[in-house]
Structure 1
Amino acid sequence: MATTDGARTTRGAATRARILAATAGLLSAGAAGGAGGASTARASDAGGASTARHAVTVSEIARAAGVYPNQITHHYGSKDRLVLDAAFALFLRDTTRLQAAGRRAGSADAFRQVLARTALAMPSTLLVVRALAAAGDDDAQRERVRLLLAVLFRQSERYLERVVAEHGWTSPSGVGRDARTFWSAVFGATLLADAGVTGGPSDLDLAGTVSIR
């Protein structure tokens, strides 16, 4: 028998959205309170990252969303799945700002550098990298990661296609490969910085992963 708060009911959809929004809000607050985005990614060049870590708990999410803890499991299956979805929701929102910044660039070189600087500066980049790292060997979680990354790559590819067409630029490597290579490099640089590894890639190094000319 379906419950009145089932995932496919109107009430269930509203509860699900409220839980996701509350989780995103807690993640954003945590990122703002630590060394987020650019300061974290560039800390690798300055001698290591010092980001404050705070794992959001199910009880915190439940209080923020005004739900019972078991409703989180009911709608999302696990906290890790919920955190992954919330982190990507924040990240995809921030990529719209990245796209707007890129459109204001007057040259292909400036465009590549703007993309790199903005991607490293987004606090949600670190949130996504940590959520990806938490996927581990869980098959369901890894499948969700593949789906979300496919959405990111597809949206990025379409964006690059429009920019290249609007400006008359070219992409020798192809915009699909540019999108995948760029985000892979951004995630890798952020992961290294978060681990305190020194001498990580700078924003100019990341700009070089995009072949647009």
Structure 2
Amino acid sequence: MSSSPAPSPASSSTANRQGARTRALIRAAASALALTRTPGQFTVKHVAEAAGVFPNQITHHFGSKDRLYLEAAFALLLRDSGRLTRVARGARSPEEFGRALARTALALPSLPSLTSALALARGHEELGQLASGYLKVLFARSERFLERRLQREGWAAGHGVARASKTFWVAVFGAVLAHEAGFAGGPTDLDIASGLALTRGSGSATMGS
């Protein structure tokens, strides 16, 4: 029996480009939908229509709608988190800096989608591992930003930059969940900024955890 000829390098390259383009279209459509829909309202059919692809292409590239929702929600948050670096530039004290970060983080439009995505990962090993990986990226980015800013200003994080970054985001996620459950408090009531434990001090004190 004769075997089928192996695909040529040119055809493989074309297929790879087409696959990458399809994934990009799906991700863009999924992100737009995840911003305004809960996981229950988020369907493969709607994403396929928005992306201009067939539903089976979505399952082929992403496996399930829950995985796609989680990826879309984290992509939105990682994009939105860039706002924190801009709004905090004018802060003149560690206290003002912390309050600016907390106020801006709580107003990020992607947070409700992100907390919904985290709920999907509960009890689901594959999604849990995916969420953990994205959280590590978020924490690492935040840690680098915070470390640079504190070193420049000569401020310090009382519990270390790594711990401060994680504590900050966990508090933000918890605040969103509390708000969705009916708690009407704002940034002042929740005092998320205090978790950063920022003070005026030696820049070397910002290192470590």
Corresponding residue SS for 1:170: strand
Match of 1:19 among 19, 26, 29: 26
Deviation at 1:136, TM superposition (A): 2.4
Q: Counterpart of 1:203?
A: 187
Q: Is the 8 A contact 2:158 2:196 kept in 1?
A: no
C-alpha contact (below 8 Å) 1:22/1:64 kept by paired residues: yes
1:136·1:142 contact (CA, 8 Å) conserved in 2? Answer: yes
1:37 paired residue number: none
Q: CA deviation at 1:195?
A: 2.2
CA distance in structure 2 between the aligned counterparts of 1:137 and 1:73, rounded to whole angstroms = 21
In structure 2, give the amino acid aligned to 1:99: T
Question: Structure 1 residues 92, 58: closer, same or farther in 2, change over 3 A?
Answer: same
1:97: which partner in 2? 83
Identity %: 46
The alpha carbon displacement at 1:103 in A equals 2.0
The 2-side partners of 1:131 and 1:195 are apart by 16
Instruction: Give the number of equivalent residue pairs.
Output: 188
When the two chains are superposed, the root-mean-square deviation of aligned CA atoms in Å is: 2.2
Instruction: Give the AA of the match of 1:203.
Output: P
Partner deviation per Cα, 1:101-145 (whole Å, 9 max, x = no partner): 112212111100011110110110111011101112111100001
Matched, 1:78 2:78: no
C-alpha offsets along residues 165-205 of structure 1, whole Å, 9 cap, x if unaligned?
Answer: 11111112101000000100110110121122x365x3131
Show structure 2 runs of 5+ residues with no match.
1-5, 200-209
The answer for unaligned runs of 5 or more in structure 1 is 32-51
1:35-74 equivalence runs, <5 A: 55-74=41-60
Which residue, out of 166, 186, 189, partners 1:180? 166
Establish whether residue 110 from structure 1 lines up as the match of residue 87 from structure 2: no
State the TM-score, normalized to the length of structure 2. Answer: 0.84
1:153 corresponds in structure 2 to 139
Deviation sequence 1:150-169 (CA, Å, 0-9, x none): 00000000010000011111
Q: Distance in 2 between matches of 1:140 and 1:209?
A: 30
Query: CA 1:126/1:171 → structure 2, altered by over 3 Å: closer, same or farther?
Result: same
Aligned to 1:39: none
The 4+ residue runs of structure 1 with deviation greater than 2 A are none
